Amino acid sequence: MTHRVLVVEDDTELAALMELWLRRDGMEARIATGGADALRSVYEWRPDLVSLDVGLPQLDGWEVCSRIRELTSVPILFVSARGAEADRVRGLQLGADDYITKPFSFREYVARVEAALRRASTPADRTSRELIQHHDLAVDVDGHRVLVAGREIHLTPTEFRLLVSLARHGGSMVSHGELLHDAWGPEYRDELPLLRTAIRGLRARLADASGGTDYIGTEYGFGYRLASLGVEAGG
């Protein structure tokens, strides 16, 4: 099956190069140069992935990402000149699956697109329903639902994959490498800043839903774990 990738980029020269590299890799690509055009293309063309710049005319990338998430769970890859941690955090918290900064290697760009498409298309390998309980945190793996003290909360796809990986290990430590593999794939084994950014977002969502409880403990230099409630997790 040929995957459809929507390239949302107002730099027409860069957009053309991104489209060329995607087509060379066997994908079908379409360009949108503004936010409104991007939303129209998502609705009409139904892409398998959206490559999204932040600085756009009409609507900026943040708003476009939010509106896309109201319509679909299609993978979103932010490609932006804004490389500050706050921007990466914002992008992931809005529901993006990945965030890369300009300038970038086109080979890396295509590899990240491929990885995101694989994550989205990988079928579940379990035939029985998997429910994981950790204190008052409940994770319905197959139903893609998370409840905190009986209240359902919304997580981004990346946050959900990270929480599932942590929950499957109970309170045991999960290494940085294993979390990166589970949430993004083997190509991301060295992307520690990306992991830290996503964990920060996940920790904040769980704390907001629980009135401040920190569910994620940090094993400095090694990884993360689900914390024992009542014990300060930190990190």
In this predicted model, what pLDDT tens digit does every residue of 125-134 receive, in sequence order? 444 578 888 8
165 backbone dihedrals φ, ψ, rounded to 5°: -60, -45
First-residue to last-residue Cα distance in the chain = 43
| pLDDT the model gives residue 155 | 87
pLDDT value, residue 149:
84
Helix (H), strand (E) at residue 140: strand 137-140
Model pLDDT for residues 134-166, shown as the tens digit of each residue: 888 899 988 888 999 888 988 888 899 999 999
pLDDT at 58: 80
Domain 4-121: give its CATH superfamily: Response regulator (3.40.50.2300)
pTM over 0.85: no
What pLDDT sits at residue 232? 41
Given a cut of 50, whether residue 231 has pLDDT beyond it is no
Q: What is the pLDDT of residue 230?
A: 44
Write down the pLDDT at residue 128. Answer: 54
pLDDT at 233 over 50: no
Average pLDDT over residues 11-38: 96
Alpha carbon distance 94, 201 (integer Å): 10
What pLDDT digit, counting tens, does each position of 195-215 carry? 998 999 899 889 888 888 889
Q: What is the mean pLDDT of residues 41-45?
A: 94
* Mean pLDDT (whole number) for 173-190: 90
Q: Which CATH class is domain 131-226?
A: mainly alpha
In the chain, domain spans: 4-121, 131-226
123 contact partners, CB below 8 Å, separation of at least 6: none
What is the reported pLDDT for 142?
Answer: 84
What pLDDT, in 10s, does the model give residues 95-109?
Answer: 899 999 999 999 999
Work out the mean pLDDT of the chain and round it to a whole number.
88
Q: Give me the mean pLDDT over the 161-179 stretch.
A: 92
Residues of the chain with pLDDT > 90, as a percent, come to 57
Q: Which residues pair with 226 in a beta bridge?
A: 216
Q: Which two tokens stand for residue 41?
A: 């293309």
Q: Which pLDDT does position 24 carry in this prediction?
A: 96
Q: What percent of the chain has pLDDT over 70?
A: 94
